Amino acid sequence: MSRITFGCWRMAGWRQTPQQRLALIEQALELGITSFDHADIYTSEEPFGVALAAAPHLRQRMEIVSKCGIYGGLYGARVPHYNTGRAHIVASVEQSLRQLNTDYLDLLLIHRPDPLMDADEVAEAFSVLRAAGKVRHFGASNFNPAQFELLNERVTLVTNQIEFSPLCLAPLGDGTLDQAQRLRRRPMIWSPLAGGRLFDHPAIAALLEELAARYGVTPGIIAYAWLLRHPSQPVVLTGSSRVEALREAAVAASVTLERQDWFALLRATTGTDVP
């Protein structure tokens, strides 16, 4: 996985031709952003697959991630729910492969914790998919440490995709990032800029501007660098149709914040010094 991963969740809503999408994918690859994140419910897989079909040689230069387990209107559910049964996991992967125009996924994640998840059944589905060469690696998304540990005892999980930003600090204290570091499983981070709300927060925005001037980069790069500074070595998702935004995220991988600057941003969020 590249340290910066292209989050494709909004791709279906971008007003782009297949040629424009292909150009964006190629530009991301040139920036070293080689991992592309999807889910069966994002509706991004089909437009991505159409673009990839026009340049199938690019498949060897990228890692494709998808997720399954949320069973809602897309599947015609009467009541939106989670489904981590073997049949649904396998069927979802088959659908993703068709839409993405590829023979395999590099990584499959269970999208959300399912209170009815049978860990043995999920592990069996993963085993079937791996044996068929349809999925190479497996992980979880939005799992707490206990949920991750349960499934990881049955089958090796390589990552947990979680929300983390200066405005979502829970993973720092609930054991999620400690577990990632203990198991040496690099977490994937979604909503790293809190949907843009970071720049609306007066104290955070002011500090990001100050640090950006000192490091000679943009405030957005500082925000990404703050996440990348964590010793669990996160993979950070960015989702944008603008090449400039992708370039900004890619630069962040080469910026290392000083320890005091990292804690200064933490203080700007919490409003207090460490005890």
Cβ(112)–Cβ(82) below 8 Å? yes
The active-site residue, picked from 42, 71, 82, 224, is 42
Identify the bridge partners of residue 108 per DSSP, sorted by sequence position.
66, 138
Q: How far is CA 274 from CA 32, 177, 260, 262, in A?
A: 36, 19, 12, 12
Task: At 82, list the tokens.
Answer: 């989670």
Question: What are the residues whose beta carbons fall under 8 Å from the beta carbon of 78, sequence distance 6 or more?
Answer: none
Please give the span between the terminal C-alpha atoms of the chain, in angstroms, as a whole number.
36
Residue 13, helix vs strand vs coil: helix
Neighbours of 57 (CB within 10 A): 7
42 is catalytic: yes
| Pair of tokens at residue 75 | 């599947």
CA distances (Å), 89 to each of 39, 122, 168, 221, 253, in order?
A: 12, 8, 29, 36, 33
Q: What one-letter code names the amino acid at 33?
A: I
Instruction: Kindly state the greatest CA–CA separation across the chain.
Output: 56
Q: Which residues are catalytic?
A: 42
